[in-house]
Amino acid sequence: MGARGKKSTVQEATSVAVITPRQAPPPDLTADERHCWIVMVDSLSADWFSGEHIPLMKAHVRSSIYADMIAERIQNHLAAAAGEGMIGTPKETAQFMNLLNNHAAQAKMIKTTATAMRLCQSAVYDREKIRTRDSAVSRVWED
């Protein structure tokens, strides 16, 4: 049976803190991928990710790095084309379109993995819980 009466300030201040370790990056990631992993994990609470998220997290950080690499190649292509005053030969145009398509594919993968891990607002937004002005709400003062 517990002690009766009001708890003292010392008793109230004493609590047990449970520390949840954050997901460490797997050893097979590159330095850039590890940095992206750490930024992602540190941006949310420690218990947001569990071991079952590791494959999705790896795909997400790799797609993010690949998208950055492709975007850099696109910028280099545009800078070279601006110096020449045109886009280039048909072969260069095809390469440029291929880069754009690859970047779009990586962006789609980033969106998919972010939604699956509930990283974006659309993944946690519940339209059913939002009340609109037109919803049927009984207002006592309008009866």
pLDDT tens by residue, the chain, 143 residues:
567 777 777 666 666 666 778 889 999 999 999 999 999 999 888 888 888 899 999 999 999 999 999 999 999 988 887 766 566 778 888 999 999 999 999 999 999 999 888 887 765 666 666 655 555 556 666 65
- Rounded to 5°, the CA angle 32-36-39 comes to 140
What residue ranges do the domains of the chain occupy? 29-43+55-122
- pTM beyond 0.75: the answer is no
Burial zone of 64 (CB within 10 Å; 0-12 exposed, 13-18 middle, 19+ buried): buried
pLDDT at 7: 73
pLDDT at 137: 59
pLDDT at 47: 85
- Rounded to 5°, the CA angle 59-63-66 comes to 140
pLDDT at 78: 86
- Rounded to 5°, the CA angle 33-36-39 comes to 150
